[in-house]
Amino acid sequence: MPLSEIFEQQREIEGAQSRAGENSITMLCLDTGSSRIAIALESAREVVEHPHIVGYPIAVKPHVGLANVRGSVVPVVSLGTGECKLNTMIVLESAGKQPFALLARDVRPVILKDSNITANSRSTSPTSGVVSIDGRPIRWCSVAWLVQRLFGGNDSVSR
């Protein structure tokens, strides 16, 4: 589903919710191959289905390869184990740093009420927590959390 359609759906739902007085957030729920996570929709620059990825001659986890996204070369990474077919990449940006793409499958927008979102209580500025989607707990995370997990604290994804 193109990101523009997701944003249009979000605007329609937000209009209905504002009239009803509900606070909500739109997240992208996705399967990374090793877990299901949710990311705030605003973190995603683009969702690309069936991307063409040029692999590295010698891959070093979590790096998978490079992709051309609208004329820009973007590093592609994966949280998965490589045992499943990840057919979509989500291009993410980390606070003005170089964008990177995360491989996933089954990407879908989900509208959540604030009451369904639980932040990690150990942090005053939460970067991850748990959301309830379809009655199942799923980890939500910020791009900063993903950068920490993927690149070990190095905030530059061009490593």
- Alpha-carbon gap, residue 95 to 26, rounded angstroms: 19
Sketch the domain layout of the chain as residue ranges: 3-151
Is 3.30.450.20 the CATH classification of the domain at 3-151? no
Question: How many beta carbons lie within 10 A of that of residue 134, not counting itself?
Answer: 7
Instruction: Pick the more confident residue, 93 or 44.
Output: 44
The pLDDT value recorded for residue 54 is 92
* Residue 127 in tokens: 């970067």
The pLDDT value recorded for residue 124 is 42
The pLDDT value recorded for residue 74 is 92
Rounded to two decimals, what is the model's pTM?
A: 0.73
Side-chain-facing half-sphere of 111: CA atoms under 13 Å? 15
Residue that is written with structure tokens 């070093």 in the block: 60
First to last CA, the chain: 30
Report the pLDDT averaged over residues 23-51.
Answer: 84
The pLDDT value recorded for residue 15 is 66
- Beta carbons within 8 Å of 60's beta carbon, 6+ residues apart: none
- Beta carbons within 8 Å of 72's beta carbon, 6+ residues apart: 99
Whether residue 67 is predicted with pLDDT greater than 90 in this model: the reply is yes
The pLDDT value recorded for residue 121 is 38
DSSP track, 64-97: EEEEEETTEEEEEE--S-SSS---EEEEE--TTS
